[in-house]
Amino acid sequence: MPQQPDLAASPPLSPQGRGEHGAPVLRLQNITKRFGSLTANNAISLDLAAGEIVALLGENGAGKTTLMNILFGHYVADEGSVEVFGKPLPPGDPRAALDAGVGMVHQHFTLAENMTVLENIALGTQPMWRARFDRVAARTRIRSLSSDFGLAVDPDAVVAALTVGERQRVEILKALYRNARILILDEPTAVLTPAESEALFKTLKLLVAQGLSVIFISHKMAEVMGVSDRVMVLRAGRVVGERRTSETTRAELAALMVGEEIAPPQIRDVPYGGQVLVLDGVSTAGRSSGASLDNASLTLKSGEIFGLAGVSGNGQAALSGLISGTETLRSGTIHLFGDEHRAWTTREALQLGIGRIPEDRHATGTIGDMSVAENLILESYRSPRFSRQGFLRRDAIKEFAREIIADYDVKCPSPDARVRLLSGGNMQKLILGRALDPKPKLIVANQPTRGLDVGAVAYVHRRLVEARDHGAAVLLISEDLEEILTLSDRVAVIFKGRISPSSKRGERSVRELGELMAGHGLEAAA
Amino acid sequence: MTEALEILFTASFWVAAIRIASPLIFATMGELICERAGVLNLGIEGIMTVGAFAGWFTVYSGGDLWTGVLVAALSGAAFGLLHGTLTVPLGLSQHVVGIGITLLATSLTYFTYRLALPEVTSPPKIEPFQPLPIPGLSKIPILGEALFSQTPLTYLAFLTVAIVAWVLYRTPLGLAVRAAGENPTAVEAQGISVSGIRIGAVMAGSALMAVGGAFLTMSAFNSFFFEMINGRGWICIALVVFGSWRPGKALLGAILFAAFDAYQVRLQQLTGGIVPYQIFLMMPYLLSILALVLVARRATYPKALMIPYQKGER
Amino acid sequence: MRLEPKPAPSLAETLLYPVGAIVATLVIASLLVLAAGASPFSVFALVARGAAGSQFAIVETLTRATPLIFTGLAVAVAFRARLWNIGAEAQLYAGAVITVVLGTGLLPLPSFLLIPLIAIAAMLAGALLLLGPAMLKTRFGVDEVVTTLLLNFVVILFVSMLLEGVLKDPTGLGWPQSQKLIAEARLPRIIQGKRLHYGFVLALVSAVVVWIIMKKTALGFEMRAVGHNPEAAFFAGIPVNRVLAKTALLSGGLAALAGFSEVAGLKGNLTLDLSPGYGYTGIVVAMLAMLNPLGVVAAAIFVAGIFVGADAMSRTAGVPSYIADVMVATALLTMVVAILLSRYRLRWA
C-alpha cells in the first residue's frame, strides 16, 4: 500500500482475513480528481481484502462520494488507477465495475418506483436485444438469494409499496444478483431506524462470512466502530489516517475526521416562555411528500428548541409544510400565539412571524439562477423597504444583501453572483440570514444541517441556539438523532404522522427514542 | 336524426375511421416511446412533415413504396437524433428544442420541395398503397370490412402497436426504457447508459412519427401539400396523455378520435351548410383540449418526463 | 459529458454568444445554398442588400420587424416566467379581429380616442385568449404548450368562419376578407408614401415598457422567480398562480398588439394570410434576444431582415426563399445551445 508520508500517522496495515495471503480484491491507487480549483480527491489509495469490512469515514465534502463515483465510472479520475481482482478497471465505464463484481448501494436508492422488485433487480442483466425478458429465471434466482442471505422481499411487489428498509434490501439484492463480490454502501443507515440498522449490520456480517468484501461509507462514529474491521479517515480529499478498528477509539477517529476541535454549542437552561404553537389532533391533507399528519399534537413554547426525531417520510414534510404554509389542514386545531388558525399560506406564515428553513435548499430554499441579493429579498420584496409603488429599490436591496452577507458570513463573490455557484453551506447561511433577520418568534428548521460540512453545521447550530436564547420557539426536525440530542431542550418522535409525547433532554435514552422511531409503543401512546 | 345515427352502422364510415386513425397511431406510438423514456418530443409536427415528404418524394423519384416508407423512417430518425442530442446530454429545454425541430424540419422540407420541384404549380401524384383486403376476414360485415380491407400501411400501424407494447412490457430493452422515464438513476446504476436509451427511444419514436406522416402522402392521399399535417402531431401528443402512456389505451384513443373525425365530416354533409364547416373542422382540436383537461387530474406522468439527467447525479 | 455552472459572463461576452449562434447558422445555411447550386457569398450578399441595401429595403425590414417585436416580446415575457406560450399566432388574430370589429365604423370616434380604445380592446382579447390555457395549467395541470398550439388552429378556423360570415366584406368579390378600417382607426405612416407606420413606434415603446417591468418592478421580480424555480417562489410567499395569470395577460396582450398593428397600420383589413407565422417566429426572436425585451427589438429587425432579404434574393438567385425559414429555425437551435454554453461549461466526464 502506498504511503501518505505527510499524513498517515501509523504504519500501513496489512488487511485482515483471508486477503492477508492473497492480493487485495480491490485496489485504488493514487486517485486524484479535481473540479476546477477544488481537489475532491488527492492521491487516495485504498486496498480491500476478501472478507473484510472497511469503513470510509469522513465529513460531508471529504471526498467519499467522489471516490466512489470514480470507482463506478461516473467520473474519470485525473490521475491514479483502479484494480479489481488484479485487473485494471477501464475508467468512465459504469458497466465495467458492475461486470468486475463491484456492487453499490447508493444513499438515495436507485429504484424505479412504478416497477416491481424483480424488474428493478433484473434491469440490465439480460441481453438488451433479447425478444423476451425472462421473468421465471429472474424470480428463481432472487428467491434463492433472499433466502441465502436473509434478505426477505417479495419479488413481485411494486417498489412504490415497499418500506425504506425493504428498498435497501432490494438494493443489496441488486448487487448480489450480479454476482457482486465487493459491496459498497454509501451512508446506508441515514434512512434507517436503529433496529433496521442492526439488521443491516447482521446482513453485512453474513456477507463477509461468505467471502464478500464491504466498503462502508459513513460519518457516524458509532456504527463505524461497531461494524468495521478497518477504518480509513478522509478529510478534504485526502486520507488522513488508517486504523484497525480494534486498535482505535472514537475520540481518535473524531479528531482525525474533523481535524480541528469545534466546540459544541453551549446550551444553557433558560426558563420556557409562553405557548407559541399548539397543534391539537391535527391531520393534514397530504400535499407534502411522505406520510400526512394523523391526529398529531404538539406544544411549542418560546425560548426552547423542540427536537423532533424520526425516520424520513413519517410526516416531517407535512408538519414543516403546515407551519411553513405549504400544507393544508384536514382536521384538528392550530393555535398560534393564542389565536386559532385554519392553516395559513406561505405569505401569511411570514406575516405571522414564522421563520422557515426548508428541507431542500436547492429545490425549495433558493433560486439557483437568481442572484444572492434577489434570493435574500425573496420573502420580503414587498415590504416598503425594498419596493415602492411596485418598483424595486435597487440600492436598498444591495445594502441589505451586503449586511446579511457580512452578518451571516455568506461567502460569495458579490451580491450579484448567482446562488447556483455557492457551496451548500453558504446557501444555508443565506437561507438562515433571510429567515432569521426579521427576528421570527417561531422557527421551523427541517433538516437544517443535512449534507453540510462540520464548520457549517456548527454555524447553523449556533444561530439556532442564539435565536432560542432571544426567546424564539424553535422546532428542529432532523433525522440525525445526535443532532437532536445535542441541541434540543425537549424531544419527541414522529412516526406515521403521529407525534409522541415530548420529554426533557436526557429523560429518554437513545434506545427508547430508537424504539419510538420504529413505531414501538407510539400507536398505544397516541 | 336517424340519418345521423345510421352513419355509425355503415361500413364506409368505419373504413374511413380506421384510415384516419392510421397516421395518428404511428405518430402516437412514436411520441409514447419518447415520453416513456422521459423525453417530450414536440418535434412531432415537423417530423411528420418530413416523413410525408421523404416517403412521397422517394416514390416520385422512382423508388418503390416500401423504400419510401424506409426513407421516411430514416429521415425521421435523423431529426430524432438531433432532438435527442440537444435535449438528453445537453439537457436543453424540451419545449424550446421541440418547437425548434418542428420549425426546422418543416422549413427544410418546404425548401427541399421548392428546390426539387421549382416549376410545379399543382403537386405531382404518385401511385399510392392500394387496399389489400384480407381474404375471408374482410367479408365480416362492418367490423371485418373496416379492419381488413385497408392498405398494408394500416396493417403495419396495428402491428406497430403490438410490437411497441411487447417491447415496452416484455423485453429487457423495454424495461430499460420505462425505467429511464421513471428514475434514470436506476438505469445508470445498472450499468446502462441513460443517454443511450433516451436518444435511441427518441430516434425510434421519431422514425414512427415520420412513417405516420408518410401514410398521408402514400396511403391516404397521393401527393404532398404544404401544411398537410395540419396539427395532427399536436393531437397525437394529447392522445398519449389521454392513453395514460399505454400503447393499448392510446390505440383506442386514436380510433375513438378518428371515428369522431370521420363522423363530423359526414355530419357536415348531412347538415348541408347550415352550420359553418369551420365549426366541424375545429372539433378535433377542441376535442383534444377537452381530452387533456378530462384526464389531466388523474394522469400519472412518467416521473422523469422532461427532467434532464446528468451522469453521476443523484 | 457533464455540465458545470460557471460565473455570469460579462456584457461583452454575453453578446458573443448570439453572434456565435448566427455564425453557426450562416455556416449551416451555406450548405443548403451550395446544395441549391449557388454561391453562399453571393447569396448572403444578396440577402444583406435586400434587407438593408437601400432606403426601400430598410423601410421594408422595419415594417416586417414590427409584428415580430410584438410577438417576440409576448414570448419573451411568457418564457421568462416559464409559461410556454406557443399561441402568439392565435392571440395575434384575436387582436386583429377586434381591430376590425371596432374599426370598421362601429364606433364613430375621432382618431385620438378610437385608436387607443381599439388597441386596448385588442390587447384584452389576446390576454383573455391566453388566460384560458394558463388557467388550465394552474388548475388542472394541463400542459400549456399543447393547448396553445391547438388553439392556434381553432382560432384560425374561427377567423375563417368570420371572414366568410359576419365580417365578410360585401364588396370583396367573394374573397374571404373583411371591410377596410375607417380612416380614423388607421395608424398613420411615419414617412408619407412609405409603408412604415406608427405601429413600429408603438412596438419600440412596448419594448421599453416591458424592459422596465421585467427589470425594475416587483412584478418582473415575481415573474423571474416563478420562471426559474416555481417551488422556491411558492415557498417564499409569491402567489405563483396569480403571477402566471398576470404573465398570461401581459403576453397575450402583447401578441394581440401585433394583429392590431398589422391591420390598423399596414393592411387596413383582415385576411387569412395576415400573419405568415409571426407567432411562431416570435419564439425565435425571443430566444435570439435571450429573452431580453430590448434585445427583442434587435433580434426582430435581424430576423425580419433575413425574411425580406431572402425574398429579394430568391427572385434573382433562384434559391427558394424558404431558406429564410430554415435559417430562422436553425438560429433558434444554435441560440439555445449558445445560451447553455454561456451558463455552463461542458466537461467530458
Domain limits for position C168 = 2-347
Place of cell 359576419: C166
Q: Is A183 helix (H, G, I), strand (E, B) or coil?
A: strand
- Tell me if A468 sits within 8 A of A304, measured CB to CB: yes
The pLDDT confidence band at residue A268, using thresholds 50, 70 and 90, is low
State whether C225 and A367 contact (CB < 8 Å).
Answer: yes
Q: What DSSP string describes C18-45? A: HHHHHHHHHHHHHHHHHHTTS-HHHHHH
- Tell me if B257 sits within 8 A of B25, measured CB to CB: no
> Sign of dihedral through CA atoms C102, C105, C109, C113?
positive
Smallest CA–CA separation between B43 and chain C, in Å? 12
- What is the phi/psi pair of residue A371, to 5°? -80, 170
State whether C1 and B89 contact (CB < 8 Å).
Answer: yes
State whether C229 and A363 contact (CB < 8 Å).
Answer: yes
Q: Are strands A79-84 and A182-186 parallel, antiparallel or unpaired?
A: unpaired
Q: Is C229 on the interface with B (CB under 8 A)?
A: no
Smallest CA–CA separation between A289 and chain B, in Å? 14
Contacts of A98 in chain B (CB under 8 A): 190-191
Within 10 A of A146 (CB to CB), how many other CB atoms are there?
A: 20
The pLDDT confidence band at residue A523, using thresholds 50, 70 and 90, is low
Which amino acid is residue A295, in one-letter code? N
Q: Is A215 helix (H, G, I), strand (E, B) or coil?
A: strand
Q: Is B214 helix (H, G, I), strand (E, B) or coil?
A: helix
Chain C residue nearest residue A375, CA to CA = C225
Q: In the prediction, which pLDDT does A197 show?
A: 85
State whether A92 and C229 contact (CB < 8 Å).
Answer: no
Task: List Cβ neighbours of C23 (8 Å cut-off, separation of 6 or more).
Answer: none
- Tell me if A122 sits within 8 A of A129, measured CB to CB: no
What does the pLDDT look like over C254-265, one tens digit per residue? 999 999 999 999
What is the rounded CA–CA span in Å between residue A343 and residue A279? 11
Fold annotation for A275-353+440-525: Rossmann fold (3.40.50)
Residue B48 has pLDDT above 90, yes or no: yes
Q: Are strands A182-186 and A213-218 parallel, antiparallel or unpaired?
A: parallel
Of the partner residues B173, B183, B193, the one whose CB lies closest to the CB of residue A110: B183
Q: Write out the CATH class of domain A1-101+182-261.
A: alpha beta
What is the rounded CA–CA span in Å between residue B59 and residue B65? 6
What's the number of domains chain C is made of?
1
What is the rounded CA–CA span in Å between residue A405 and residue A410? 5
Contacts of A76 in chain C (CB under 8 A): 349
Which amino acid is residue A355, in one-letter code? G
Chain B residue nearest residue C25, CA to CA = B104
Ordered by where they begin, the domains of chain B are 2-123+135-296 (1.10.3470)
Question: Once rounded to an integer, what is the mean pLDDT over residues A322-347?
Answer: 94
pTM: 0.91
Residue A248 has pLDDT above 60, yes or no: yes
State whether B90 and C3 contact (CB < 8 Å).
Answer: yes
Chain B interface, mutation test: which of C130, C157, C229, most B Cβ atoms within 10 Å? Answer: C157
State whether B234 and C332 contact (CB < 8 Å).
Answer: no
Provide the 8-state DSSP code for A263.
P
State whether A132 and B312 contact (CB < 8 Å).
Answer: no
Q: In the prediction, which pLDDT does A163 show?
A: 84
More confidently predicted of C276 and B314: C276
Q: In the prediction, which pLDDT does B43 show?
A: 97
Which residue stretches of B61-171 are H helix?
65-87, 94-116, 143-148, 152-170
Chain A residue nearest residue C9, CA to CA = A417
Q: C240-261 and C111-135 are packed helices; what angle lies between their axes, rounded to 10 degrees?
A: 140
Contacts of A418 in chain C (CB under 8 A): 5, 7-8
Helix (H) or strand (E) holding A27: strand A26-35
Of the partner residues C224, C235, C349, the one whose CB lies closest to the CB of residue A76: C349
Q: Are strands A238-244 and A102-105 parallel, antiparallel or unpaired?
A: unpaired
Average pLDDT over chain A, rounded to whole?
87
Smallest CA–CA separation between A144 and chain C, in Å? 38
Provide the 8-state DSSP code for C184.
G
Sequence spans of domains, chain A: 1-101+182-261, 111-180, 275-353+440-525
Q: Is B281 on the interface with C (CB under 8 A)?
A: yes
Q: In the prediction, which pLDDT does C273 show?
A: 94
Distances in Å between the alpha carbon of A203 and those of A120, A172, A198, A514?
A: 21, 10, 9, 20
Residue C213 has pLDDT above 70, yes or no: yes
Helices and strands per DSSP (H, E), number in chain B: 13, 0
Residue A11 has pLDDT above 50, yes or no: no
What does the pLDDT look like over B32-44, one tens digit per residue? 999 999 999 999 9
Of the partner residues B175, B300, B314, the one whose CB lies closest to the CB of residue A123: B175
Q: In the prediction, which pLDDT does C311 show?
A: 92
Task: List Cβ neighbours of A37 (8 Å cut-off, separation of 6 or more).
Answer: none
ipTM of the complex in this document = 0.93
Q: Which residues pair with C306 in a beta bridge?
A: none
CATH number (domain holding residue C152): 1.10.3470
Q: Is A35 on the interface with C (CB under 8 A)?
A: yes
What is the rounded CA–CA span in Å between residue B225 and residue B220? 13
State whether B191 and A95 contact (CB < 8 Å).
Answer: yes
Q: What DSSP string describes B269-302? A: HHHTTSS-HHHHHHHHHHHHHHHHHHHHTT----
Q: Which residues pair with A490 in a beta bridge?
A: A306, A504
Question: What cell numbers appear for A201 in the block?
Answer: 449490520
What is the rounded CA–CA span in Å between residue A285 and residue A97? 45
What is the rounded CA–CA span in Å between residue C119 and residue C134? 22
The pLDDT confidence band at residue B265, using thresholds 50, 70 and 90, is confident
Residue A404 has pLDDT above 70, yes or no: yes
Chain A interface, mutation test: which of C235, C291, C340, most A Cβ atoms within 10 Å? Answer: C235
The pLDDT confidence band at residue B223, using thresholds 50, 70 and 90, is very high
Residue A12 has pLDDT above 50, yes or no: no
Contacts of B239 in chain C (CB under 8 A): none
The pLDDT confidence band at residue A111, using thresholds 50, 70 and 90, is very high
Q: Is A136 on the interface with B (CB under 8 A)?
A: no
Of the partner residues A107, A111, A129, the one whose CB lies closest to the CB of residue B186: A111
Chain B residue nearest residue C142, CA to CA = B296
What is the rounded CA–CA span in Å between residue A469 and residue C228? 37
